[in-house]
Amino acid sequence: SNVLYKKIINIIDERIINTKNSNISSEEYSSLTSEINALINEIDNFLPNDKKHLIYQLEELFSNQEQLAEKFMYMQGFKDGIDLKDK
């Protein structure tokens, strides 16, 4: 049962990565990423050198938050799929 759980988690992690990689190729995702990067660069230009690290910390936090949200949504979809299968 613990082995099955670990296999499921590995499959979920792999599918999240694959989904994210397929999203990266979409034009809309690429466009938004370009806009975000341009804005981050603009903000970075206004920051004094001793505060530039803050923008990178913010980027890292946003990235971590996005990963958690994607994992949660995938897990919820996985649970919903199991529930539908059992009905």
In tens digits, the chain (87 residues) has pLDDT values of 566 656 666 666 676 666 666 656 677 777 888 888 888 888 888 889 999 888 888 888 888 888 888 888 888 877 777 777 776
Q: Which two tokens stand for residue 26?
A: 């979409």
What pLDDT, on the 0 to 100 scale, is given for residue 74?
81
What pLDDT, on the 0 to 100 scale, is given for residue 50?
94
If you compute the radius of gyration of the chain from its CA atoms, what whole number of angstroms results? 18
CB-based contact 74:8 (threshold 8 Å) = no
CB-based contact 40:59 (threshold 8 Å) = yes
- pTM higher than 0.75 for the full model? no
